[in-house]
Structure 1
Amino acid sequence: MTTYHHPTIGAQQLQERADKVVIANATGNPDLFSEAVKDLLAAVRMFRPAPDALDDFASAGDNTLHGAIDHWQARAIKAEAALAVRDAQTPAARDVLAERQRQISAEGWAPDHDDAHTLGEIAGAAGCYAIHASEIQNGALRYPANPYAFWPWDRDWWKPTTPRRDLVKAGALILAEIERLDRAAIAAQRQGDA
């Protein structure tokens, strides 16, 4: 009869793998994230408490062991769901989200900054980039004025490039404006409830 050795993994090793998932997600690298999630899922399937921990589980009751297993299975399921969402995103969607993150981290356009633009400036800027992308693709001025004429901010912030890049910027600005509108609606609701 053949004896199979099944490798086991403990809670500390699971935590390390879960931490790697968080770090990989923060990098924005879908391949790194995917590998980290797969590693966590494989580890959860091998989870066994360390032998010395079994005494602790035995004294605490069987529910503690089941609770630990349930905890790590739940974390793995969440990570797997996040991976499925990320895999379902197109490169264009990932680029728009990455640009929005860049606007926040590199340019400093955080939510509190955006909340000060209540006159449609963010949506207007998105429109300018989208119109510019359209004009470049068509090779002709299709609109009555240069999109820069409607640019809501200082000229130094008008940075059109290629049609795709301009559309990515427009998408990120639209996302920022939707988020701003959502925050404003929540704030108005809270004031109404007060």
Structure 2
Amino acid sequence: MDMVTITLDGIQVKARQGSRILETAMDAGVYIPHLCFLSEADPPIGACRLCFVEIEGRIDAVTACTTPVAGGMIVRTNTPRVDRLRRTAAELIIANHHVDCKACARNRSCELQKVAAHLKLKLKPQRLRKTLGELKPVDSSHPLLTYDPNKCVLCGKCVWICEHKVSGPLNFAFRGFQTRVSTFDQRPLGESKCDSCEECAAVCPVGALVSKVAK
């Protein structure tokens, strides 16, 4: 496999030709906030907009999960502009997320908690907060899975896994602020064609899709 050298925050690192900046950073032990990255997804999902970085010579910041490395590339993962972009994206996600960490199955193993801690954000920011309205019903109809749409961050990982690995029922429904992960015809999970692989729960970065079976 061909390798190239890039400069990541002032340090030269080797990267696989054709890999994405985010993958290279992860291999190098450099944390870049992200919620939607799946290594097997090609093209990348690119939904959360948390992984902005700057590349020397480019005017605009780019998302690390969608941008391939190139030999000689100089990448900065921690600049004031990058921080502003990430914080804005994270605040939008958090503002639409039902924060109930203590009662959540993913408490202390939640990727959103990790993102918020890295960006020094509270999980109840006031800026950009919109009225969430009434909580949507939690779907516990499936014998192995529980889906809480109020915790979903619309990362798209469960939808990708469901579509590409098992041809399952999950997809996005509705638009705008009403967008949610759902099944065909908005049927409960227990009435869908789910094959109970639990892959969706395995990739969910928060506590929206969780297994009822203790691991």
Of Structure 1 and Structure 2, the greater helix share is in 1
* Both proteins in one fold, TM over 0.5: no
Using the size of structure 1 for normalisation, the TM-score is 0.24
Of Structure 1 and Structure 2, the greater strand share is in 2
Which of these two proteins has the greater Rg computed from alpha carbons?
1
Using the size of structure 2 for normalisation, the TM-score is 0.22
